[in-house]
Structure 1
């Protein structure tokens, strides 16, 4: 995800969201909880003379998720045959279960046709796992979420765990330029889907496809963190400091009541901050009293280990991931991601004594132009 311009907190009050603390799983429980929250919130809004719009209930599972994982299913869809939403959920559960680690953690990424086509971002992404230090086996736990049919077709040709996430009436196939309407819809679609994954009881490491995986990041996650996120700039004093500037392109989230409620709140908040994408809204709601009341343990990951073009990791001996953030335009990303791969290969070919000297530096940005 490209870095957005710094956004000051709007004066409009964030939505007051009533926590229902459901157990991960059934959509019906969330629907009941949402109706209860609306019933409580509306009288309060009247008493305070503040007109707060009531958010619509979540879409049913068949509206949210659509899987095309066989010729029979594709044929049936084209002929207008109906599908049981529970069957759709079973198919998502199946791919998550197949890819999950022992603790029910999966690695997730999303891609569309533009990023999945041959010689585009997807090929570079997969290659980073193959040449990284101890990362090849992590491909066994990666689920690629395709946002259009061509991306899905390419996915199943190169990877065993693919899931088709279709949005009715929206075409996500082309390049979505930063902050355009299509880009915003795609980002918020992702937040909604990740909430579903949490409700199904799975932890996840979400990674943008324009992130290079050079080492296993898991040893650098905090054991007590519910929601851990990479940064464009690590500005704070420590991993708890809200002054850090998060980037939604890489995060590790545990499935529990706190994170489920937080993702619902995050997605709901877009209606109160129109025109902003998920990352800017996160920068607002991380300060919200509701987030504090949830008790969610939020941690910001250091750029020493989780770097990017905005703020590169300084030491090749420590870096885990590098992100083509602060970079707008698919061709620019592809070029600089290729340079990152070459820089890593050069480093890995050096004698141990040269590696320890810590003299190696990234040659990016080149095509990318950070603000």
Structure 2
């Protein structure tokens, strides 16, 4: 996922820091035994003065320990651009924890699965689940796509905050909430919160594989227009979409986009996702896609013998490299785009383009079918964004 605002699951799949404090040992020498004599007041005060520095050190150590324990129990909802006045102390989970209710997840996967134990998974936070935002557009694409409505019953929506979960339950039968710290706001691309979301996604997807389920993961800003399974190789371990496809589906030098992938549940893919998740420590401050770009050439992946195939953008296109033919396109991704408002604007136009294409077939009109997007997304990587507060208000109005 290269774009901003990716709520993912998941981040998406994280580690907490343990505060360690070296203990200070204090050794007091024993006084030699002597015959009791008359109490000497000066000797008494002299001993107190000698002991005072040690007592101060011990007291300071205890106070500092208590302060560190208290501080570690407080969770920052979003560190990027927010002050400590936004502290959230109501959660009992560690900031980077990922709690998976395996029993509930098994039930949801069982209810949503296709006959071959395959599910479709997407992820949401509140910013993407708002009315007329990304979730509504995704569901609309399933409804108006060519024979794609049937896939809605196989779609599992993973939410990373309670607001998104509540709205998902109103619109869709298969919703799973990742317990832990909430990520309800739009997370700016490559901020600490963005990275938490994408890595939660990787860890969660690894658990799905571990439970024996294959999956198609789709970012919520990917619109479905045709059955993608007709273009997927059922015998390949992992298939990944591309920002730019070079024509060779087996060339590791393709520019992948992990926002859309088909992964079979095998021992190889389970090991791959574990290695992928652990590699975030090797490459700190990189998101899941950049880390994948690093490890795809790693000897571990080569020795694993995993089959990786890259998807043709003629069928799985995006704003980076649009599908050339609406008669072929299966999915279209609002990639190479920054800003939720930019994505929503251009995806709405994309859906209108698709409706015009369908109408021309029904009426047998001569229509030169072509995407009229990207528009607002074009150049959005370099264009200054409006303040987040104004953007949020515009989304809710």
Alignment pair present for 1:224 and 2:222? no
TM-superposed CA distance for 1:277, in Å, is 0.4
Q: Conserved in 2, the CA contact under 8 Å of 1:303 and 1:311?
A: yes
User: How is 1:72-111 mapped onto 2 (pairs within 5 angstroms)?
Assistant: 88-111=101-124
* Cα offsets for 1:59-103 (capped at 9, x unmatched): xxxxxxxxxxxxxxxxxxx998xxxx9993111100000000000
Cα 1:106–1:295 shift into 2, 3 Å: same
Runs of 4 or more above 4 Å deviation: 352-355
Counterpart residue number, 2:281: 271
2:130 is aligned with 1:121: no
1:250 and 2:263 aligned: no
Q: C-alpha displacement at 1:224, in angstroms?
A: 2.2
Give the TM-score taking structure 2 as reference length: 0.70
Cα deviations by residue, 1:113-140 (Å, 9 ceiling, x for unpaired)? 0000111110000000000000001001
The answer (yes or no) to whether the contact 2:221–2:333 under 8 Å persists in 1 is yes
Alpha-carbon shift at residue 223 of structure 1 (Å): 2.6
Match of 2:376 in 1: 367
Counterpart contact for 1:3–1:247, Cα < 8 Å: no
Contact 1:212–1:322 (8 Å) recurs in 2 = yes
Distance change (3 Å), C-alpha of 1:352 and 1:241: farther
1:174 aligned partner = 185
- In the other structure, the counterpart of 2:384 is none
Aligned residue pairs, count: 290
The DSSP-based 3-state class of the residue aligned with 1:350 is: helix
C-alpha separation between the residues in 2 aligned to 1:87 and 1:342?
38
Task: Give the whole-Å Cα distance in 2 for the aligned partners of 1:191 and 1:87.
Answer: 13
Residues 225-271 of structure 1: CA distance to partner in whole angstroms, max 9, x if unpaired?
10001000002x41100111110110000001000000000011110
Q: Tell me the residue number matched to 1:152.
A: 165
The Cα of 1:3 is off from its aligned counterpart by 5.1
Deviation at 1:2, TM superposition (A): 3.6
Larger Rg: 2
The answer to whether the 8 A contact 1:2-1:324 is kept is no
Going from structure 1 to structure 2, the CA distance change for 1:182 and 1:350 (only over 3 Å counts) comes to same
Contact 1:317 1:358 in 2 (8 A): no
> Unpaired segments of 5 or more residues in structure 1?
5-77
Partner secondary structure for residue 122 of structure 2: strand
2:213 corresponds to:
202
Distance 1:290 1:354, change over 3 A: farther
**Structure 2 equivalent of residue 259 of structure 1:** 269
Unaligned runs of 5+ in 2: 5-89, 93-97, 382-397
- Normalising by the residue count of structure 1, what TM-score does the alignment of the two structures yield? 0.75
Residue 348 (structure 2) aligned to one of 316, 326, 338: 338
Question: What is the RMSD computed on CA atoms of the aligned residues?
Answer: 2.1
* TM-superposition CA deviations, 1:260-291 (whole Å, max 9, x none): 00000001111011111000111111111110
